[in-house]
Amino acid sequence: MSRYIDKTLHGCFHPREGKPNLRKVSVNSDRIKQHINKAHNNLRAMKMMFDNDLFDWTIICGYYAMYHAVLAALFKIGIQARAHYCAIAAFKKFYVERGNMNSEYMGYIKKAKQLEQKYAYTLEKAQEDRVIEQYGVEVLTNDDAEWIMEEAQNFVLKIEEVIV
């Protein structure tokens, strides 16, 4: 698995075409704080969505709370990410594999991303499966939404512990 991550990271830092999706930057405390604040904004939005039985948006907000926490963690080590898969691969390599974060947190962000992709209409998904995703509807229960309510909060708090 580590070989796959290394290959992915190489492609993210050095793509064959276009701009890199990961790049080295100076550590920027302001950007770290901005991403943590954005993570907390998404946690608040997640709770509002859950309280109003908008479970698809609960999942989306929960994922983005985790994602912005990951971006903050990457800025802490001087990496800027421009693509989700690259950010997650870098997080795994530089935090999980190095023992700075327990591997369970990698599972949380992967599951959150899968849920977000399953329930959200995004430009990326629209390009891949536009008709199915755009016009399809999923019957949601609150099980996944309850899971993400708890784990997104735990994830963001753990990132804050690690990067302080």
DSSP label at residue 83:
S
pLDDT, tens digit (0-9, with 9 covering 90-100), for 11-57: 999 998 999 999 999 999 999 999 999 999 999 999 999 999 888 78
pLDDT, tens digit (0-9, with 9 covering 90-100), for 107-123: 777 777 766 666 544 33
Q: Can you give the pTM of this predicted structure?
A: 0.79
Q: How far apart are CA 127 and CA 45, in angstroms?
A: 26
Please give the Cα distance from 78 to 31 (Å, whole number): 11
The pLDDT tens digits for 76-85 are 999 999 998 8
Collapsing DSSP to helix, strand or coil, 86 comes out as helix
Cα 19 to Cα 61: distance, rounded to the nearest angstrom: 27
Q: Which two tokens stand for residue 145?
A: 């939404």
The percent of residues above 70 in pLDDT, for the chain, comes to 77
Question: Which domains are seen in the chain, by residue range?
Answer: 2-163 (1.20.120.330)
**Which residues have C-beta within 8 Å of that of residue 26, sequence separation ≥ 6?**
78
* In the block, residue with structure tokens 């290959």: 7
Q: Which residues contact 74 (CB under 8 A, 6 or more apart)?
A: 80, 81, 87, 90, 91, 94
Q: Which of 78, 79, 74, 44 is nearest to 61 (CA)?
A: 44
| Distance separating the N- and C-terminal Cα atoms of the chain | 29
